[in-house]
Structure 1
Amino acid sequence: MAVLSLDHPWAFTFGILGNIISFMVYLSPLPTFYRVYRKKSTEGFQCVPYIVALFSAMLWIYYALLKPNSYLLITINSIGCVIEFAYIIVYLVYAPKKQKICTAKLLIVLNVGLFGLILLLTLLLSKGPDRVHILGWVCVGFSVSVFVAPLSVIRLVIRTKSVEFMPFSLSFFLTLSAVVWFSYGLFTKDKYIALPNIVGFVFGIIQMVLYIVYKKSKQPATIMEIKMPDTVIEIMKLGPTEKTFGVHPIIEHEHNSAQGDQNEHYDPNNEERTKEQFTTIEV
């Protein structure tokens, strides 16, 4: 990566913009966790997206520490680690015992076990530039996998012809984040940052186009006579950190075959919770 200085004003500018936008995306789940705190219940959603976002931020911090003059990557991903860890703590406080155990296991396996293994292997089996390249490709692979995760939501929107589970504002800011971090990678000549954000941009555009196509649909997904998946996982990505990752909560819905039964059991609070929880993460 080129040195960030007055000789590279665009790299510095896009890096600052990326930090600001990614920070806003990191804060997007706050309404959900305020609701959890207020109701003293996680209301059935899962913590997987936040654990993935934390893992992504940890990877990018490690990469930035190996790469000279990557201060802007270190700042936003350090902030991301703190925020995501706080979300996970709140979840563990109010989640049912079974979910607490599952979340703790996943946290240990992914953020301690897998990250520790990557750290150990790169330190023992590679040196200097080779270590940076190996870790860079690991970050690219993980970032791409996070960006592809919204395919489940895209498929759901097409099947139901409803954008109930895909807020336009979230898709817009994630797409903007991908553009900004791609530009940062381009001006700093860092392909490991630029490449995954191309994928993020493409999927972001697809989501916004689908929103425009289906936004006037009168068929709410909660009453359609279509068998919908029991769970939908949306992980959001915030630039080079995969924040995420964007990734987010698992939304659970019960669907009855008869519309009468559905109306009888319809809970408006459940719909509100669903919209609040649709978020995910990354840088």
Structure 2
Amino acid sequence: MAGGLFSMEHPWASAFGILGNIVSFLVFLAPTPTFLRVYRKKSTEGFSSVPYVVALFSCALWIFYALVKTNSSPLLTINAFGCVVESAYILMYLIYAPRTARLRTLAAFFLLNVTAFSLIVVVTLMLVAEPQRVKVLGSICLAFSMAVFVAPMSVILVVIRTKSAEFMPFSLSFFLTLSAVAWFFYGLFTKDLYVALPNVGGFFFSFTQMVLYFWYRNPAKPVSVLPTTAAIAATLAARSDEELMELPLGVHAVPAITIPVLAELQKMEQEVASPRKAGAKAV
């Protein structure tokens, strides 16, 4: 695989690596409409910066893994692109976010992308023998990716509870599924389990989201749920898809659109709950 994305010695691995790059390129650009909106309105409108900070960490981690392993051009190219895109998103967020959100973002950035990443680099290079570096670093990447997979369960439960998939864009779930398939086979053909295994989970959760979308896309009637949840679902249904198409957290394993969606859910539930508290006090 050295010397470029395509190698005649490993045609299948090269083909899936290129496919993974193309799909992941589109996924990385998914939040562009959201940030164009931020630029036009000069406001972040309360959405979370966490997905972009974590995505930058994920990209940097996989770049380090690709450099240590060598001969991993597809991983290197797409994650380098991801670092550039994520950095641009974070910079724009810092420009237009209110002071409190800006400070939280900077704190998360320095904690994760500076402190944690530097610690991983130092420990890997200084304390781990060279023959074991790929194994240790791959295990860290695998553990991080698998931990991220817990997030989709929350949005899946929200969809099932509200019986509405109006705030879960099908197109993004589709591309995440395709991305998981491409990177799984890339890992399989290159015999890299650290790339292949996380994408088993990525495929499962993304495919589950697509199934739920078709199951709940046309609810027959309103469902009796908690008042705050109903209000949230109604407000989300009135919003455009571009506001909800936040970036997944990484290239290999990340149907993490769920994190910004959950942040939005929490924010909106607080907004709905606040008037009630005020009314209760008035009584």
Q: For 1:219 and 1:22, how far apart are their aligned partners in 2?
A: 37
Question: What's the CA shift for 1:149?
Answer: 1.2
Secondary structure in structure 2 of the residue aligned to 1:5: coil
Q: Cα deviation per residue 1:10-47 (whole Å; 9 max; x = unaligned)?
A: 10000001000000000000000000000000001010
What does 1:1-283 correspond to in 2, within 5 Å? Answer: 5-217=7-219, 225-228=226-229, 236-240=248-252, 242=253, 246=257, 249=260, 250-251=263-264, 252-254=267-269, 256=272
Q: For 1:64 and 1:228, how far apart are their aligned partners in 2?
A: 43
Q: For 1:243 and 1:86, how far apart are their aligned partners in 2?
A: 19
Question: What's the CA shift for 1:236?
Answer: 2.3
Question: What's the CA shift for 1:71?
Answer: 1.1
Instruction: Return the structure number with greater helix share.
Output: 2
Secondary structure in structure 1 of the residue aligned to 2:218: coil
Secondary structure in structure 1 of the residue aligned to 2:149: helix
Q: 1:238 to 1:57 in 2, by over 3 A?
A: closer
8 A Cα contact 2:59 2:79, kept in partner: yes
Report the equivalent of 2:280.
Answer: none
Moved over 2 A (4+): 1-5, 218-221, 223-230, 232-240, 242-250, 254-257
8 A Cα contact 1:186 1:194, kept in partner: yes
Q: For 1:244 and 1:86, how far apart are their aligned partners in 2?
A: 21
8 A Cα contact 2:58 2:250, kept in partner: no
Question: What's the CA shift for 1:147?
Answer: 2.5
Question: What's the CA shift for 1:219?
Answer: 5.7
Question: What's the CA shift for 1:119?
Answer: 0.8
Note the residue ranges of structure 2 that are not aligned, 5 or more in a row. Answer: 237-243, 277-283
Secondary structure in structure 1 of the residue aligned to 2:248: coil
Give the superposed CA RMSD: 2.7
Secondary structure in structure 2 of the residue aligned to 1:253: helix
Q: 1:243 to 1:76 in 2, by over 3 A?
A: farther
The amino acid that maps onto 1:228 is T
The amino acid that maps onto 2:32 is L
8 A Cα contact 2:65 2:137, kept in partner: yes
Question: What's the CA shift for 1:165?
Answer: 2.1
Note the residue ranges of structure 1 that are not aligned, 5 or more in a row. Answer: 262-283
* Number of residue-to-residue matches in the alignment: 255
